[in-house]
Amino acid sequence: MTAATTDVPVRQASLRTHNLGLVLRQVAASAEPISRADVAAATGLTKATVSTLVDELLGGGLLVEVDPPPRTGSGRPAIGLRLAAKGPAGLGVEITVDAIATCVVDLTGAVRVALRQVADQREREPGAVLADAAALAADALATARSEGVEPAGLAVAVPGLVSDGVVRLAPNLGWREVNVAAAFTDGGLPGPPSVENGASLAALGELQAIGDGGASFLYINGEADIGAGVVLNGHLHRGSRGYAGELGHVTIRPDGPRCRCGARGCLQTYASLDVILAAAGLDGAPLARLAALARAGAHPALMALDEAGTALGVAAADAVNLLDVETVVLGGGYALLAPWLIGPLEREIADRVTAHQWAPVTARASTHGESATVMGAANSIVRAIHAAPATYLRPT
């Protein structure tokens, strides 16, 4: 989309807002500290305009100046600019069936604090789980502040269907109509919290990690349930009502096994982590055990992984036929199992995607490990700051 199709009048005030973002993102895109003159050249803004905007971003705590490199040749080296590591940051929280996690990511994308409590959350009251998560977030906030980092927003990742801050349904946790946002509005946490599906936030984290602003991919998250995030042209597709990404309930066989959702033959019934472990005769075992057996060439493990990879491939091929994304990313537990899932998955895509010959698709493991989702949550706030820095300027 270009500016021309954005129905917002551009007047002087929004011009400043727009260009502040432009300058900040130009600094962010530069691997090395960048001078005001280079920002001007890259953005097409005048040097005078850039100087004014940079002063605002420096004063507001979003940029810092760094000393020029030693003088080489003629001319005086210019002062460089880079993103402020101490300044507005993102606070992320993740709730899964077996852990609560939180982290703080600063404006440069660096993880400054990361806390994780491993414990089964399924037997507990939602209120107790949320209170623990909010307390953990408050700990992370205090630690970040002690380092001069100030989280400017909070995103909470939960497994399941989410809208308006409410978990409508999280089958694994046994949650239904749980107001998650309300649990994070006290205790001095930055607010209001945004609550989103975990796989969607993991996809956003992957987008940040690969550093390709226009990437399109399907992120498939293997947790207790199968989640997915759909990233199109560098944007997370959330859906009309916020429920996109339910890849786990794409139909593999219309008359297949009954799924917990009530339908038959959902991907979930062929390729969830529990189903893979059971098929390999490893009910309840850790995934690492399955991976070790597969590495040793154990037939039941390899068979189970091939069947799951095939089902994942059928569902991924549906998504690729529909959306023409160039990559399928395996995250969560699937990242560990990727060496055995990718073969059958890519085979199904090659067989089933009509345009495959002209538009090949690659499958790969996610960039981040088990922290992908909570980092994605924190990064979603950092992303918002990059998109609209004027909103986050510290009063000078």
Whichever of 126 and 389 has its CB closer to its own copies, that residue is 389
| Binding-site member from 238, 289, 347, 364 for its own copies (CB under 8 A) | 238
| Binding-site member from 30, 108, 163, 179 for its own copies (CB under 8 A) | 163
Region from 60-68, 134-142, 349-357, 374-382 binding its own copies, contact rule CB under 8 A: 349-357
Region from 4-12, 91-99, 103-111, 149-157 binding its own copies, contact rule CB under 8 A: 4-12
Least distance in angstroms from the C-beta of 245 to its own copies: 7
The residues with which 178 forms a beta bridge, in sequence order, are 167
Using rule CB under 8 A, residue 150 touches its own copies: no
Q: Which of 184, 227, 219 is nearest to 381 (CA)?
A: 184
Q: Which of residues 308-337 bind its own copies (CB under 8 A)?
A: 310, 314-315, 317-319, 321-326
Using rule CB under 8 A, residue 241 touches its own copies: yes
Q: Which of residues 82-111 bind its own copies (CB under 8 A)?
A: none
Q: Which of residues 184-223 bind its own copies (CB under 8 A)?
A: 216
> Do residues 183 and 148 lie in contact, with contact meaning Cβ atoms separated by under 8 Å?
no
Whichever of 228 and 291 has its CB closer to its own copies, that residue is 228
Using rule CB under 8 A, residue 246 touches its own copies: yes
Least distance in angstroms from the C-beta of 182 to its own copies: 18
Using rule CB under 8 A, residue 48 touches its own copies: no
Least distance in angstroms from the C-beta of 40 to its own copies: 10
Least distance in angstroms from the C-beta of 248 to its own copies: 8
Least distance in angstroms from the C-beta of 49 to its own copies: 9
Whichever of 230 and 290 has its CB closer to its own copies, that residue is 230
Q: Which of 92, 93, 373 is nearest to 219 (CA)?
A: 373
Least distance in angstroms from the C-beta of 283 to its own copies: 25
Q: Which of residues 255-294 bind its own copies (CB under 8 A)?
A: 261-263, 266
Using rule CB under 8 A, residue 124 touches its own copies: no
Q: Which of 99, 219, 96 is nearest to 160 (CA)?
A: 96
Using rule CB under 8 A, residue 232 touches its own copies: yes
